[in-house]
Amino acid sequence: MLKIRTSPESFFVFVLFIPFLLVWHTAEIYKVMEFTKPLFYFLPVLGTLSVLAYNFYTPENKLTLDTSYIQLALVYVLLVCVSLLFNFNEIYWETFFRDLLIFLLPLVFFCFKLHFTDWQFKAIFLAGFLCYFIWTRFKFSFVLLSSFLVSNFHFSVEYHFGCIAGLFIVYFLYKKQWLWLAASVVFMLLVNKRANILGLFPAIVIFYLFVIPFKLHKKKISLFIFLLIYYMTFWAIGTNIEASATFFLKLLGKEEIDLDYFLTGRMILITHLQPEITERGIVAYLFGNGPGQADAYLWKTISSPIYDKIAKPYLVHNDFLKLQFDVGLFGAVLYFFICYYLYACSPLGIFVFLYTIPLFLIDNTLIFLYNILVGAVAARVMDKDEHTLSSPPLSLH
């Protein structure tokens, strides 16, 4: 009799399959760029519940729990409660619950000390690749630097698969699986997400010129300080993106380039949100205005024919500004710890961390739930000669 071997990891990988293959190419179920559809959240919740059920019904194979993740979740909830005290009457609840769930779900799931296999990660990649062709109906362009607004189908693929496509490159490059790497590069070109380069370039340079040569992945305190500096450097750039972009263009001697063109049309979002952060006072600066409120604020205060066609509420396209507005400075620092614990459990996870953070400058990675989940899965893939993942440095225990 054939015995099928199951595991909580297999359950979770399976529910990651579902949105790739059945949901994202079905416009009637999952509209372009709408993050409030219950089905989108139901699937990863189902994956988390499957792990809990597996743990409950197989007492002989109890999963190990890392309570540091639960503590991070509780700190985040406490921070959200403080922000609500000062902004309760102005909360836009739809985006509030969207962001609250996206922040908490990875922490709740990965508090279990799980590890994944190489074939499981490849299964996620193949599902995404297949779904791309289903979704676009073969309407795509290989021109990486051209506008990605080829069609609604193409745009949707750019939006959902963009960050994940870069994760596949990080994974297969680290594993030195060259044929799979070539396939992931083709996937990135098909998806046509230029922001991938912003994440990949510093990640590859820093990982292979600093992390590996100086063995930072084996020095927990040094690694923590290094990643904190890396994160806060991009935070400083992101929360002052207009000045940073102006300085960069001046450094290149390209002052004649229009700033809005350089920031790919995001100036209307930045010029409304950035001043509002400082005008709301020190309490809002430290604790924020509540999860999801940056998107809602932009929707209420600006009118843009381009963005009206894309999403309501508007999406900030700068995660550092979004963090600062939503959960304040304390929340921005807390999110470093969230990324740190989700990714820094392995050398590959450090590579994923280095790739993910620069994307915050010009993207909406904070609400790309599947990007967060797939990145954390990649960080927990173990080779045959590995038996345990390293515990995150500076444990909260």
Whole-number pLDDT of residue 57: 67
Whole-number pLDDT of residue 187: 85
331 and 288 in contact (C-beta within 8 Å)?
yes
Whole-number pLDDT of residue 204: 97
Whole-number pLDDT of residue 27: 41
- Report d(CA 250, CA 262) in Å as an integer: 12
Query: Residue 163's CB: how many other CB atoms inside 10 A?
Result: 25
Residue 37 forms part of a structural domain: yes
- Report d(CA 25, CA 157) in Å as an integer: 9
Q: Is 116 helix (H, G, I), strand (E, B) or coil?
A: strand
pLDDT per residue over 66-122, tens digit each? Answer: 888 989 999 999 999 999 988 888 898 888 988 888 898 889 888 888 888 899 899
Residue 396 forms part of a structural domain: no
Query: Among residues 320, 328, 255, 345, which one has the least CA distance to residue 291?
Result: 328
- Transcribe 306-344 into DSSP letters: HHHTT-SS---S-HHHHHHHHHHHHHHHHHHHHHHHHHT
Residue 156 forms part of a structural domain: yes
Residue 65 forms part of a structural domain: yes
Query: Residue 4's CB: how many other CB atoms inside 10 A?
Result: 5
Residue 342 forms part of a structural domain: yes
Query: Among residues 233, 225, 238, which one has the least CA distance to residue 277?
Result: 238
pLDDT per residue over 146-183, tens digit each? Answer: 444 344 444 445 555 668 889 999 999 999 999 999 99
Q: Which amino acid is at 197?
A: I
Whole-number pLDDT of residue 234: 97
Could you list the residue range(s) of the whole structural domain that residue 13 is in?
8-379
Whole-number pLDDT of residue 180: 97
Residue 259 forms part of a structural domain: yes
All residue ranges of the chain with pLDDT < 50 are 1-5, 24-36, 142-156, 309-310, 387, 396-397
Whole-number pLDDT of residue 146: 43
Whole-number pLDDT of residue 25: 45
Residue 395 forms part of a structural domain: no
Residue 41 forms part of a structural domain: yes
Looking at the structure of the chain, the number of domains it has is: 1
Name the pTM for this structure: 0.87
Contacts of 361 (CB under 8 A, 6+ apart): 198, 234, 237, 238, 241, 318, 319, 320
393 and 221 in contact (C-beta within 8 Å)?
yes
Whole-number pLDDT of residue 378: 94
- Report d(CA 232, CA 236) in Å as an integer: 6
Burial (CB count within 10 angstroms: exposed 0-12, middle 13-18, buried 19+), residue 84: middle
Whole-number pLDDT of residue 147: 40
